[in-house]
C-alpha cells in the first residue's frame, strides 16, 4: 500500500494474481483506470462459487452484532461491531478468504467510518471525536488527520472531502461544514449552516454535486453552495422532499428545480433509487420514465400481465440498467403472493416475471445474473440468470443467521457475493469466468497464447506517434511457437516498460498500458513475424508521445531500454481459431486498448499513478515555465471540474486531456496552480493547468493566437506565471488590456 501526499489518504487498487493483501498495490486518487477481475469484466455470478467463508463477530468482540451498513471495497469489507453495552469495534475482512485483516476498538478510532474517493479510500472519526483520520482499509494504518469538533459524517465530491460536525446551539442539526483536500486532508474552507427551526427528524446532512456546485440539505433547509464555500441560495424544505442532482424530489409526486418552478409532475409515486432517484437525467414517476430537464416522457410501461396498474410500485435495480415493477402481496387473496417483473430501463421492455418479490434493497445484479435473499426461514440466496430469470443456483445462508428476525442483505465486491446479517457475514467466492470450465478458460494456466506451444509471442516496439485518438505504438510481433501461432485472446495486457529489469512489468516505469482484445478477429503470427499497431488512449499513458518515441528510438529493438511483457488478463477467454492463417484479421487495422490493468504506486516498483505523472511532468516543466513571459492558458482542471459538457472525475481524465493537448501543441507545459500564487488566487488554486508554452512580451499576440486557433475567450487567455505578485496583473482576457501592451 502507498499513501498519497505523504501521510495522506491511501487509495486502493486491486490485489495481485496471488491474492496477497500484504503486497497489494496502492493507487493514488485518479491512478490509471483499473479493469477489475470482477463481475463487471468476466467473472460469472450465474455459475456456482467454488468456495465460501463465514465471519463470526463474536470472535472479535464477544456478544456483538454486525453493523447495518458495512463498507464494501473491492477486496475488503470494513464493518462496525457493537454490543448491547455499547462496546464497539471496527474490523476489516478479506473478501476472498473471510480472514480478519485488522480490528480496532474505541480507543483507536471513533464510532463511524465513511468510504470516500469513489470507493477507494476511507476516513473515520477520531477516537475522542476530536476530528477525522484517514484509515487504510487493508492494513488499518492511520494516515492524515484533521481536527474537527464532534464530527458525525463525511463524504467526498471530486477532490474534496466534506465533513459535517455538530454545532453547539439551539438545534441539534446546526452544522459546521468543513472542506478538506481528499489526498492530504489539508483544510480548504469552513462554513457554518444554521437552518433555524424544525427538528432533528429531518435526517442527516448530505452533499451532492450538480453542474460544479454543491447542494447541501441540513435539517429543514437546503443550501446551494459554490465549491469555494460561498452560499449562493437557500430555502426551506418539507419532510417529504429531498435533493438529487440539484433537483428537489417531492414525494407528492413532482420534480422541481431549485427556484421552485415545477419541471414535471406525473401520475403515481416516484421510483426509489439505490443511490439517487434521478439517474443520468432520468426520473421515474408511476409507470413512466421522464427526461428530468424537459419533463418529456422517455417511455411508458406497457401493460404487465396479471398486474393491477394502480397497485404496481416501481424502483430502480442496482446499476440502473433495469427497473423492478413490483406487484404487492394481496392479503385478501391467498393465491396472490405478488411478484416482480424485470423491465429494461432504456426501453421499458419487460424481460421476465418472478413469482418471488424482488427489490433493490435485497437484490444485486451483475452482467449475467441477479441474486436475492429469501425473507423467511430457511434463509437462502437465490441466483437467477439475468436473461430469462431461471434459477441458476441456490445456497443456504442459515449459517449466518441466528436471530429470529434478522436483517439479511446481499452485496458485491470485486469477486465475491456477500451476505450480511445482524449475526454474521457470509462470503461466496472463487467464481469461474464467464467461459466456465469449458476449453479456453485460461484463468488457471498459460495455454491462452497459442493452440501450439503455450508461450507468448514477442512484442518489439519500433515506433510511436500521436494518432488514432491516442498514442499508436507499432510493434514487430514474432512467434515463439514453431511454425507460427494465433493471437486470439480476449484480454492481452501489453505494457511498455522503460528502465526495468527485462523480466517484470513491475520493475520500471510504465509509459503506456492496456488490455487488447483479439478474440473476435484473431491475428496469425508467422515465424518471420508481422507488424501490428496498438492504440493506447491518452488516459492509459503516463508520458507525452515524444517521450515514448524517444525511449523506443534509444532502445533500437534491443530490449535494454524498453521491455514489453505480455500476459493474459484475469478475465481472458480464448477466441475461436479461424480455419487457416488467410482468414485472420488484417494486422494493418489498429487495435485499441480496452482498459488499463492494475498499476503499482509503491516506491520500490516505481510505477506511476496519474497523479504522480502530473506531479512529475509539472516538476520537469518548472524551469521552462519560469523562463516564460506571457503565454496562453489552454486548460485548468481538478477532479470534479465540469467543462463543456464533460465532468473530469479523476486525475486520469486530467492527465489524458493534458497529454492530448501536448500532442496537439508540442511546446505545452504543465503547472500546478497552487505553486504559482502570483498568477492564481485562492479560487484558482489546486488546479492542473496546461500552458501553450509559447512566450510573448505582450498579451495581444497571445490573445490573437487564442482566437486564430478557434479557442473561445472562456477557454484560452494570456497568463504570466509567477510565484509572487498580484494575480490580476498577471492574467489578461480578451480584449487585451492596454497596460499589458
The answer to whether residues 419 and 54 touch, using CB atoms and an 8 Å cutoff, is: no
Closest C-alpha to 55, from 14, 100, 87 = 100
Contact 321, 309 (CB under 8 A): no
301-315, 375-389, 411-425: least confident range: 301-315
Give the span between the Cα atoms of 452 and 474, in whole angstroms. Answer: 25
266: left (phi over 0), alpha (psi -120 to 50) or beta: beta
Q: How would you class 22 by CB atoms within 10 Å of its CB: exposed for 0-12, middle for 13-18, buried for 19 or more? A: exposed
Region 529-552: what's the mean pLDDT?
86
Angle between helices 651-664 and 545-555 (to 10 degrees): 70
Helix axes 610-626, 651-664, angle to 10 degrees: 40
Q: Which residue has the cell 498519497?
A: 4
Its pTM stands at 0.59
Q: What is the pLDDT of residue 414?
A: 85
Of the listed ranges 190-204, 472-486, 710-724, the one predicted with least confidence = 190-204
Q: Which three cell numbers stand for residue 348?
A: 421499458
640 neighbors 686 (Cβ within 8 angstroms): no
The strand ranges marked E within 569-705 are 591-592, 630-637, 641-643, 646-648, 669-672, 688-691
Task: Say what the pLDDT of residue 443 is.
Answer: 32
Q: Measured between alpha carbons, how far is 140 from 130 in angstroms, rounded to an integer?
A: 19
Residue with cell 503470427: 525
Torsions phi, psi for 641 (to 5 deg)? -65, 130
Q: Is the pLDDT higher at 424 or at 546?
A: 424
DSSP string, 40-69: GGTB-TTS--SEEEEE-GGGTSTT-EE-SS
- 455-495: per-residue pLDDT in tens? 678 899 999 988 776 788 999 998 887 778 888 888 888 99
Would the pLDDT of 685 be above 80? yes
* Stronger pLDDT, 109 or 470, i.e. the higher one: 109
Query: pLDDT tens for residues 365-386?
Result: 988 899 998 767 678 899 999 9
Of 40-49, 270-279, 571-580, the one with minimum mean pLDDT is 571-580
pLDDT the model gives residue 78: 96
**pLDDT at residue 19 greater than cutoff 60:** no
Which residues, listed in sequence order, are joined to residue 155 by a DSSP beta bridge? 162
Show the beta-strand stretches assigned E in 438-574.
458-467, 470-478, 485-487, 492-493, 496-498, 509-512, 515-516, 523-525, 530-537, 562-563, 567-568
Residue 558 pLDDT: 86
Residue 606 confidence (pLDDT) above 70: no
Q: Tell me the mean pLDDT in the region 555-579.
A: 81
- pLDDT in the model for residue 625: 93
Q: What is the pLDDT of residues 138-152, one digit of tens each?
A: 899 998 999 998 898
Q: For 6-34, what is the mean pLDDT?
A: 38
DSSP state of 301: P
Contact 127, 117 (CB under 8 A): no
The gap from C-alpha 408 to its chain's centroid, in whole angstroms, comes to 27
The enclosing H or E element of 276 equals none
Per-residue confidence (pLDDT) for residue 219, from 0 to 100: 75
Average pLDDT over residues 323-340: 68
Q: What was the pLDDT predicted at 450?
A: 36
Helix (H) or strand (E) holding 285: strand 282-285
Instruction: Report the mean per-residue pLDDT for the chain.
Output: 80
Res. 418 pLDDT band, cuts 50 70 90: very high
Amino acid at each position: 500500500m502507498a499513501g498519497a501526499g505523504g501521510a495522506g489518504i491511501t487509495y486502493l487498487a486491486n490485489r495481485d494474481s496471488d491474492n496477497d493483501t500484504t503486497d497489494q498495490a496502492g493507487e493514488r486518487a485518479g491512478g490509471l483506470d483499473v479493469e477489475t477481475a470482477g463481475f463487471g469484466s468476466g467473472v460469472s455470478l450465474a455459475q456456482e462459487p467454488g468456495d465460501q467463508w463465514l465471519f463470526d463477530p463474536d470472535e472479535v468482540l464477544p456478544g456483538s452484532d454486525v453493523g447495518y451498513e458495512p463498507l464494501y471495497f473491492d477486496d475488503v469489507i470494513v464493518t462496525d461491531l457493537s454490543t448491547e453495552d455499547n462496546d464497539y469495534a471496527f474490523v476489516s475482512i478479506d473478501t476472498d478468504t473471510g480472514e480478519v485483516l485488522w480490528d480496532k476498538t474505541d480507543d483507536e478510532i471513533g464510532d463511524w467510518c465513511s468510504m470516500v474517493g469513489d470507493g477507494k479510500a476511507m476516513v473515520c472519526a477520531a477516537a475522542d471525536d476530536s476530528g477525522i483520520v484517514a484509515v487504510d482499509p487493508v492494513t488499518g494504518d492511520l494516515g492524515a488527520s484533521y481536527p474537527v469538533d464532534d464530527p458525525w459524517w463525511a463524504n467526498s465530491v471530486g477532490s474534496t472531502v466534506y465533513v459535517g460536525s455538530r454545532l453547539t446551539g439551539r438545534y441539534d442539526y446546526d452544522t459546521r461544514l468543513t472542506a478538506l483536500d481528499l489526498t492530504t486532508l489539508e483544510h480548504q474552507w469552513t462554513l457554518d449552516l444554521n437552518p433555524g427551526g424544525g427538528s432533528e427528524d429531518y435526517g442527516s446532512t448530505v452533499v451532492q454535486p450538480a453542474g460544479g456546485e454543491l447542494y447541501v440539505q441540513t435539517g429543514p433547509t437546503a443550501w446551494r453552495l459554490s465549491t469555494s464555500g460561498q452560499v449562493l441560495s437557500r430555502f426551506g424544505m418539507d419532510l417529504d422532499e429531498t435533493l438529487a442532482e440539484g433537483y428537489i424530489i417531492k414525494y407528492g409526486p413532482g420534480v422541481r428545480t431549485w427556484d421552485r418552478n415545477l419541471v414535471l409532475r406525473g401520475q403515481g409515486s416516484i421510483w426509489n433509487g439505490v443511490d439517487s432517484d434521478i439517474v443520468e437525467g432520468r426520473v421515474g414517476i408511476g409507470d413512466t420514465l421522464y427526461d428530468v430537464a424537459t419533463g418529456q416522457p422517455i417511455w411508458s410501461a406497457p401493460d404487465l400481465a396479471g398486474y393491477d396498474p394502480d397497485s404496481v410500485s416501481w424502483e430502480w435495480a442496482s446499476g440502473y440498467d433495469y427497473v423492478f415493477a413490483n406487484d404487492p402481496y394481496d392479503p385478501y387473496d391467498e393465491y396472490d403472493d405478488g411478484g416482480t417483473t424485470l423491465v429494461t430501463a432504456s426501453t421499458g421492455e419487460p424481460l421476465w416475471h418472478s413469482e418471488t418479490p424482488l427489490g433493490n434493497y435485497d437484490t444485486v445484479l451483475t452482467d449475467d445474473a441477479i441474486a436475492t435473499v429469501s425473507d423467511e426461514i430457511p434463509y437462502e440466496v437465490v441466483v437467477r440468470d439475468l436473461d430469462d430469470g431461471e434459477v441458476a443456483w441456490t445456497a443456504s445462508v442459515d449459517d449466518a443467521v441466528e436471530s429470529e428476525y434478522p436483517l439479511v442483505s446481499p452485496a458485491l465486491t470485486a469477486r465475491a457475493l456477500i451476505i450480511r446479517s445482524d449475526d454474521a457475514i457470509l462470503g461466496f467466492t472463487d467464481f469461474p469466468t464467464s467461459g466456465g470450465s469449458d476449453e479456453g478458460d485460461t484463468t488457471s494456466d498459460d495455454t491462452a497464447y497459442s493452440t501450439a506451444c503455450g508461450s507468448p509471442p514477442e512484442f518489439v516496439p519500433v515506433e510511436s506517434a500521436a494518432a488514432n485518438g491516442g498514442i499508436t505504438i507499432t510493434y514487430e510481433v514474432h512467434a515463439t511457437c514453431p511454425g507460427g501461432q494465433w493471437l486470439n485472446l480476449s484480454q492481452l495486457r501489453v505494457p511498455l516498460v522503460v528502465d526495468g529489469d527485462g523480466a517484470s512489468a513491475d520493475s520500471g516505469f510504465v509509459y503506456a498500458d492496456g488490455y487488447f482484445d483479439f478474440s473476435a478477429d484473431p491475428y496469425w503470427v508467422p515465424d518471420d513475424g508481422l507488424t501490428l499497431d496498438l492504440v493506447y488512449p491518452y488516459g492509459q499513458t503516463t508520458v507525452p508521445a515524444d517521450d515514448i518515441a524517444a525511449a523506443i528510438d534509444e532502445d533500437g529493438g534491443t530490449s535494454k531500454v524498453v521491455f514489453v511483457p505480455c500476459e493474459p488478463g484475469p478475465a481472458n477467454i480464448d477466441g475461436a481459431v479461424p480455419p487457416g492463417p488467410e482468414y485472420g484479421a488484417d494486422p494493418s487495422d489498429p487495435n485499441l486498448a480496452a482498459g488499463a490493468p492494475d498499476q503499482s504506486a509503491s516506491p520500490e516498483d516505481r510505477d506511476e499513478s496519474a497523479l504522480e505523472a502530473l506531479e512529475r511532468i509539472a516538476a520537469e516543466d518548472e524551469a521552462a515555465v519560469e523562463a516564460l513571459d506571457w503565454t496562453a492558458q489552454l486548460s485548468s482542471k481538478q477532479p470534479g471540474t465540469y467543462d463543456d459538457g464533460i465532468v473530469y472525475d479523476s486525475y486520469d481524465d486530467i492527465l489524458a486531456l493534458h497529454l492530448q493537448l501536448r500532442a496537439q501543441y508540442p511546446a505545452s507545459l504543465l503547472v500546478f496552480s497552487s505553486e504559482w500564487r502570483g498568477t492564481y488566487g485562492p479560487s484558482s488554486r489546486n488546479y492542473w493547468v496546461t500552458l501553450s508554452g509559447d512566450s510573448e512580451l505582450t498579451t495581444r499576440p497571445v490573445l490573437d493566437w487564442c482566437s486564430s486557433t478557434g479557442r473561445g475567450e472562456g477557454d484560452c487567455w494570456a497568463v504570466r506565471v509567477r510565484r509572487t505578485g498580484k494575480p490580476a496583473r498577471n492574467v489578461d482576457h480578451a480584449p487585451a488590456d492596454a497596460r499589458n501592451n
